[in-house]
Amino acid sequence: MTPAFRGCGGDVARQTTVRKVVEAVGISRVYQMPSRLRFRPAPPGTGIAFHRADRNACVAASLDRASLSEGRLVLGRSPGQVEGVEHLLAAVVAQGLTDVFVELDGPEPPAFDGGASTFAEMLWEAGVATGRRFVPTLQVRAPFRWECEHGAVELRPAGSLVVEAREAGHDGNGQRVRLHVTPRSLTAELAAARCPAWTGASRAREALFGSGAPARRSWSPAGEAHRHHTLELVGCLALLGHPLQAEVVVTGPALDLALPALRSALAQTGVLDLTAPGRPVPLWGARRLLDLDGVAAGMG
Ligand SMILES: [Zn+2]
């Protein structure tokens, strides 16, 4: 996670980005097209910004730009949109990156192993560059609960990011995953969980990282499906635009519930505070509305 310390006025984190450019090529999941992905260092204040090199278009990872389509997270609008980026974003959240350019040469990142293992390995290879600047963190001031007929999302105060996902409709015997979100825990508990009905081979990943890549955990199909939802929930937390220090408890289909629940939490007064070094800042600062046109123009 982003390095944080307790200052006068709240917890703050330092700006972090990748240390160097890393690139990988694979086949996208839905379009089954070759896709090239690059993570590039970004200056403070950029946030997580996707760059469609084929369209020279940029879109920020933010709730304002996010929608769901056929169970996949979409950012922006056609023709410059990016699709199915939830696994990639989960690896970015776990790495604690506040700023990074994600460059694609099409609408969809490579699927690799069907989970997030390769994204996590790419970011590990890139390394983390910690800047001098402090960045505000989002903190939960009062417990929050949002629910609908399909499940519920709760936010509770915590000093770091903890995620718990439970299956709906069970009397305590259903699948349950709980973890402190770090690069290590994501890799161990979630990253190998693949999309439902995943049929792709892991050959592309083996070509990249050799046969020494760790074998998948032996989860049951139901267990893997639950961990996959939890992985996607972690990815959705990137849409808040700032490091989140909270306990997030989800009961039900996490990806479907996350977007409306996070929007509701941000809209409600007194739930989430954005805390900068020494002073609280207005919550509207949590809505990152970046004008990325200049960013696209400046990228090669
Ligand atoms: Zn997925």
* C-alpha 72 – ligand 1 centre gap (Å): 7
| Ligand 1 center from residue 48 Cα (angstroms) | 19
- Tell me, in angstroms, the distance from the centre of ligand 1 to residue 1's CA: 22
> Could you tell me the distance, in angstroms and rounded to a whole number, from the CA of residue 231 to the centre of ligand 1?
8
pLDDT for the residue 13: 75
CA 196 to centroid of ligand 1, rounded, Å = 7
The rounded distance, in Å, linking the Cα atoms of 119 and 129 is 17
Residue 287 Cα, ligand 1 centroid: separation in angstroms? 25
Distance 294 CA to ligand 1 centre (A): 31
**In angstroms, what is the span from residue 26 Cα to ligand 1's centroid?**
16
φ/ψ of residue 230, rounded to 5: -65, -40
Handedness of CA 101, 198, 63, 121 (dihedral sign): negative
Provide the residue-wise pLDDT of the chain in tens; the chain has 300 residues.
554 444 333 455 789 999 999 999 999 988 889 999 999 999 988 999 999 999 999 999 999 999 999 889 999 999 999 999 999 999 999 999 999 999 999 999 999 989 999 999 999 999 999 988 888 889 999 999 999 999 999 999 998 999 999 887 655 567 889 999 999 999 999 999 988 766 665 445 445 555 444 445 678 888 888 899 899 999 999 999 999 999 999 998 888 999 999 999 999 888 888 776 555 555 544 444 344 444 544 453
CA–centroid distance, 11 to ligand 1, in Å, is 31
> How far is Cα 135 from Cα 183, in angstroms, rounded to an integer?
20
How distant is the alpha carbon of residue 62 from its chain centre? 10
How many Å lie between the centroid of ligand 1 and the Cα of residue 84? 7
| Structure confidence at residue 65 (pLDDT) | 94
110: cis peptide before it, omega within 30°? Answer: no
145's enclosing H/E stretch is: strand 144-148
Tell me what pLDDT residue 287 has. Answer: 40
**pLDDT at position 300, please?**
39
Strand 151-157 versus strand 279-281 pairing type? unpaired
Query: Ligand 1: distance of its center to the CA of 235 in Å?
Result: 10
Distance 143 CA to ligand 1 centre (A): 28
Q: Supply the pLDDT for residue 168.
A: 75
Query: What ranges make up the beta strands (E) of 30-96?
Result: 34-40, 48-52, 57-60, 66-69, 72-75, 82-83
Output the pLDDT for position 207: 52
Give the CA distances from residue 190 to residues 170, 185, 235, in Å, rounded to whole numbers and listed in that order: 21, 8, 11
Ligand 1 center from residue 178 Cα (angstroms) = 18
Q: What is the 66 CA–ligand 1 centroid distance (Å)? A: 15
Question: Counting Cβ atoms within 10 Å, is residue 11 exposed (0-12), middle (13-18) or buried (19+)?
Answer: middle
**Domain 4-297 CATH assignment equals 3.40.1010.20:** no
For tokens 């999309």, what's the residue? 195
Ligand 1 center to residue 165 CA distance, Å? 15
Give me ligand 1 centre to Cα 222, in Å. 14
Instruction: Determine the pLDDT at residue 219.
Output: 82
Q: What's the CA-to-centroid distance between 149 and ligand 1, angstroms?
A: 22
